[in-house]
Structure 1
Amino acid sequence: MMTEQKQLLSGFGPDTTAQEVLAGQDLSGKVAIVTGGHGGIGLETTRALVSAGATVIVGARDVNKAQEVLASLKNTEVIKLDLSNPASIDEFVAIFLRSNRALDILILNAGVSFPPTIKDARGFDTHFATNYLGHFQLTIGLWEALKRSGNARVVALSSVGHMTGPIDFDDLHFTKRSYDKAVSYGESKTALSLFAVELDKRGREHGVRAFAVHPGAILSGLTRHLSNEDLAAWGVIRHEDGTFTSSGGFKTAEQGAATSVWCAVSPMLYGKGGVYCEDGDIAEIVPSDSPMFRGVRSWAIDPASAERLWTISEELLNIPQGIIPR
């Protein structure tokens, strides 16, 4: 049975931190993977899970940098992972599977935002390929480890950026349309939300549940490719030393990690999945033309679109159908 896309009135909100979500929980013996878990909200996600007793494997493009950042945290491991490189994803999967561990939590946190190169070596749109397809390939590869848990959760970081519109299935890589960086980014985040819908449908009988998350607006490293003009439109000033001044509305990294952690561990979500969440709760569905930077639009949780995207993704990545059966 599908989980209703309706708020649970969890008691959490936009100011809740990951540590507050975890209060009183013991994750000893749990194994988690957090892609990009060494920076921004990913780092706060790693810190929170480790503080509750979990072992966290961080996927990182720069292993040395990640190891330096995580050196003070116990029970962390780093494996090289470049989500734009299919061979790197396969190698990450192979290394993890060789450990014969069950995977209890998979947080698809890493991503790119407005990168300078808009197409990858395959001619795929960079946002779509890195943010979504790379995580799709990773999850498929880790499927047996997720099943082995018997009670696994997959958390895909979407974004309110999905509000730019539904996926154009006839032009995923902007070969017909004029490239629009906001639309490109938004479609990759819609894709991650739809991925959670379809993965949850396929995984629930195996004890694998999936959630999409809007972490909130955070001034992190993802802003590095934005121009000062782009930031000014959001009321943000970037200073020469790399710091920011904003007119408000932004979360701290600790607050940004809260919903990811809530979806990964909260007892409130037992038996639930396939929903889009924000501010430590299931989000409300809002009208398609809503100007609000909150809530989920219907196209990001549409089951038919989710199934269509899954099939297209298997074809794009030459993944045999049925590895995760319908």
Structure 2
Amino acid sequence: MMATVQKPLHSGFGPETTAQAALAGRDIRGKVAIVTGGHSGIGLETTRVLSSAGATVIVGARDIKKARINLADMKNVEIIPLDLANPHSIDQFATEFLKSNRALDILVNNAGVASPPVIKDERGFDTQFATNHLGHFQLTVNLWQALKKSGSARVVALSSIGHISGPIDLSDLHFNKRHYNKDVSYGESKIACSLFAVELDQRGKDYGIRAFAVHPGGILTDLIRNMTDEELALWGVQKREDGTYISPEGFKTVEQGAATSVWCAVSPLLDGKGGVYCENCDIAEVVPADYKDLTGVRPWAIDTVTAKKLWTLSEDLLQIPRDSIPAAANN
């Protein structure tokens, strides 16, 4: 099976496409999806669009009260507690889902943190790397059998243009030797999400499991809650007198921000494809490492050799047996 080329398909969509438009009227009744953090921000819109198209959507939520309020009017939606910073919570979520014996057709690894107040978790892991990458890695491994059962599953990993801070330093993932920089930490966690999709696709495609990394675009969501006004001002985000924020020119709405996740989850244009980084409802262009614009994917975020190394390191950090998800024969 040939690797998918990292170049645009000219899908006909673009940065202003909404998640509803990206769905393109597809009927996905009978499909089962999991959306982590699917109760707020672009996760909430992803849940809304998938469920409105007939899919059963299981939302992994850290704030159950907020999830119940935000999802109250949606049909076909279930809520299971999930804290991606807590390995026990991840195991419990997977166990609860697997008890239903359902196939898993769509897994959107959407939840994440940015600039958290605590730099390291109880394990000594960098909090952003542990939550954004390792938490989803553990979850996906735990759900492997359900993904296989689908026969045509798709895994969507939320990355970010923050990957331009790379390349990732595999020798010091938790900043034990380097000076801590929260922007570099965030960027590396999102590079890891992209590399995860690259390697997962290699391991999954023989089982009908394809994986995609997604840059949703610049959007004002709850992720900004730990950023100072000065930091937000660097991105052109201004605060109103009532405490709300003004979205700068070039930022997307939540409806637009969820579009590429939905497109990667359901588009027939991606049948038989995977292991690529996507933006604006299309496969992104590979751009040079020193490219100045905030578009495209830098080579280090899709490097297959680094992806394999990161996979092994992730297994070791989480004490997961090697090749719990078997390596591809030619991997």
Counterpart check, 1:248 vs 2:281? no
Counterpart check, 1:315 vs 2:316? yes
Question: How much has 1:240 moved relative to structure 2?
Answer: 4.6
Mean CA deviation greater in 59-68 or 279-288: 59-68
Cα distance in 1 between the residues matched to 2:121 and 2:151: 36
1:35-83 alpha-carbon deviations (Å, 9 max, x no partner): 0000000000000001110000000011122011101000000000000
- Name 1:76's counterpart in structure 2: 77
Query: What secondary structure, in the 3-state scheme, does the structure 2 residue paired with 1:217 have?
Result: coil
- Segments of 4+ moved more than 4 angstroms: none
- Name 1:183's counterpart in structure 2: 184
Question: How much has 1:292 moved relative to structure 2?
Answer: 1.0
Query: What secondary structure, in the 3-state scheme, does the structure 2 residue paired with 1:176 have?
Result: coil
Kindly report which structure 2 residues correspond to 1:10-29, keeping only aligned pairs within 5 A, or say none: 10-29=11-30
Query: What secondary structure, in the 3-state scheme, does the structure 2 residue paired with 1:224 have?
Result: helix
- Name 1:50's counterpart in structure 2: 51
Mean CA deviation greater in 243-252 or 212-221: 243-252
Which amino acid is 2:136 matched to?
A: H
Kindly report which structure 2 residues correspond to 1:272-287, keeping only aligned pairs within 5 A, or say none: 272-287=273-288
The answer (yes or no) to whether the contact 2:32–2:103 under 8 Å persists in 1 is yes
Residue segments in structure 1 that go unaligned for 5+ positions in a row? none
- Name 1:97's counterpart in structure 2: 98
1:248-305 alpha-carbon deviations (Å, 9 max, x no partner): 1100000000000000000000000000000000000010011111100000000000
Kindly report which structure 2 residues correspond to 1:162-181, keeping only aligned pairs within 5 A, or say none: 162-181=163-182
1:73-111 alpha-carbon deviations (Å, 9 max, x no partner): 000000000000000000000000000000000000000
- Name 1:6's counterpart in structure 2: 7
Cα distance in 1 between the residues matched to 2:241 and 2:35: 31
Kindly report which structure 2 residues correspond to 1:230-309, keeping only aligned pairs within 5 A, or say none: 230-309=231-310
- Name 2:120's counterpart in structure 1: 119
- CA change 1:77–1:248 in 2 (3 A) is same
- Name 2:107's counterpart in structure 1: 106
Cα distance in 2 between the residues matched to 1:121 and 1:257: 32
Question: How much has 1:151 moved relative to structure 2?
Answer: 0.3
Normalising by structure 2, we get a TM-score of 0.98
Cα distance in 2 between the residues matched to 1:116 and 1:270: 41
Cα distance in 2 between the residues matched to 1:205 and 1:226: 42
Cα distance in 1 between the residues matched to 2:271 and 2:136: 24
Which amino acid is 1:294 matched to?
A: T
Cα distance in 2 between the residues matched to 1:46 and 1:127: 23
Cα distance in 1 between the residues matched to 2:308 and 2:195: 8
Counting matched residue pairs gives 326
Question: How much has 1:24 moved relative to structure 2?
Answer: 2.0
Normalising by structure 1, we get a TM-score of 0.99
1:189-247 alpha-carbon deviations (Å, 9 max, x no partner): 00000000000000000000000000000001000111000011111112353321243
Query: What secondary structure, in the 3-state scheme, does the structure 1 residue paired with 2:226 have?
Result: coil
1:123-148 alpha-carbon deviations (Å, 9 max, x no partner): 10001000000000000000000000
Cα distance in 1 between the residues matched to 2:51 and 2:248: 33
Cα distance in 1 between the residues matched to 2:175 and 2:240: 33
- Overall identity of the aligned pairs, in %: 69
- Name 2:68's counterpart in structure 1: 67
RMSD, matched Cα: 0.7
Cα distance in 2 between the residues matched to 1:282 and 1:101: 30
- Name 1:145's counterpart in structure 2: 146
Cα distance in 2 between the residues matched to 1:317 and 1:183: 22
Query: What secondary structure, in the 3-state scheme, does the structure 2 residue paired with 1:155 have?
Result: strand
Which amino acid is 1:291 matched to?
A: K
Which amino acid is 2:228 matched to?
A: S
Which amino acid is 1:278 matched to?
A: E
Question: How much has 1:166 moved relative to structure 2?
Answer: 1.1
